[in-house]
Amino acid sequence: MASYLNSEPTARDDLRYMVMASATPQFFNLGGDLELFVRLISDRDRDALYEYGRTGIDVVYDNWTHLGIPTLTTISLVQGVALGGGFEGALSCNVFIAEECAQMAFPEMLFNMFPGMGAYSLLTRRIEPFRAERMMRTGRQYRARELWEMGVVDVLASDGEGVHAVNDFIRRHGHSRNAQEAIQQVRQRVNPITRQELVDVLEIWVDAAMRLTARDLRVMERIAAAQELLDAPKDETSASSRDHYAEAETPASVLRVAAGG
């Protein structure tokens, strides 16, 4: 894919759709590398933390601007859990498709931070700023249907039908591709997200991260451990670990239990 995208523009004219999905059942993306965050913040390595964030916003910007290819439409397909940076990644695509089972949240408030890789910019291009801020400030988990009703998710698919929904969207989109691509260009002209906007927010995020306390970092470490537990097969986790989170009904609530110690 990289060599294809780096080829001459004329060689990319046939690229119409790019779909971002997960090969891991029940999970889309659990977010950033919190263990790395803790280490970089503890070491006061602001530059490395900034570079990590810069890599993240580069992906967001490329998805949002469809890799600089006017005829390309980027699509995210969420069939499970998307948290933090994973949620931002899904939002960054031109079209957001999610199955009913999908669960999404910004849990950064649990460790006294905010999602800084484009969440505010991306959400406010879809919904009102006060709703976007509420999502970020509360860290509440949202079901796909609720996000679809809010206008965050573009296409809601039945469980297990996500791939079919993507194919159906591509088929319908292709019938009026000229108009669809023109509307996409108009949207990004009238309500753009610039790379500089993302960089400016990243600077605020890095500054906020460098102000985190030892207590905040301990909470982050516990949440990182909970992320690993969520991602690990059940037979690879200890009974005591599972018992600790037994009353947590959703991935977001697992992280809340972890944050509480």
pLDDT > 60? residue 237: no
Domain of 21: which CATH number? Answer: 3.90.226.10
The torsion angle over the Cα atoms of residues 174, 179, 184 and 188, rounded to 10 degrees, is 160
pLDDT the model gives residue 4: 53
Q: Report if residue 90 sits inside a domain.
A: yes
Q: Report if residue 260 sits inside a domain.
A: no
**Interatomic CA distance for residues 155 and 144, integer angstroms:** 9
pLDDT > 90? residue 220: yes
Reported as a pLDDT band with limits 50, 70 and 90, residue 232 is: low
User: Is-contact 185 72, C-beta < 8 A?
Assistant: no
Q: Report if residue 247 sits inside a domain.
A: no
Q: Report helix, strand or coil for 118.
A: coil
Residue 110 DSSP symbol: G
Our count of domains for the chain comes to 1
Burial grade of 6 (CB within 10 A; 0-12, 13-18, 19 or more)? exposed
Does the pTM exceed 0.85?
Answer: yes
Q: Report if residue 129 sits inside a domain.
A: yes
**For the residues 92-106, what does the mean pLDDT come to?**
98
Q: Report if residue 48 sits inside a domain.
A: yes
Q: Report if residue 89 sits inside a domain.
A: yes
- Mean pLDDT over each residue of the chain, to the nearest integer: 89
Domain extent, residue 106, equals: 2-213
User: Is-contact 106 52, C-beta < 8 A?
Assistant: no
Least Cα distance to 95 among 63, 119, 127, 62 occurs for: 63
How many helices (H) and strands (E) are present in the chain, helices listed first? 13, 8
Q: Report if residue 161 sits inside a domain.
A: yes
**What digits encode the pLDDT tens for the residues 141-177?**
999 999 999 999 999 999 999 999 999 999 999 999 9
More confident residue, 188 or 14: 188
pLDDT > 90? residue 260: no
Reported as a pLDDT band with limits 50, 70 and 90, residue 244 is: very low
Q: Report if residue 203 sits inside a domain.
A: yes
User: Is-contact 254 248, C-beta < 8 A?
Assistant: yes
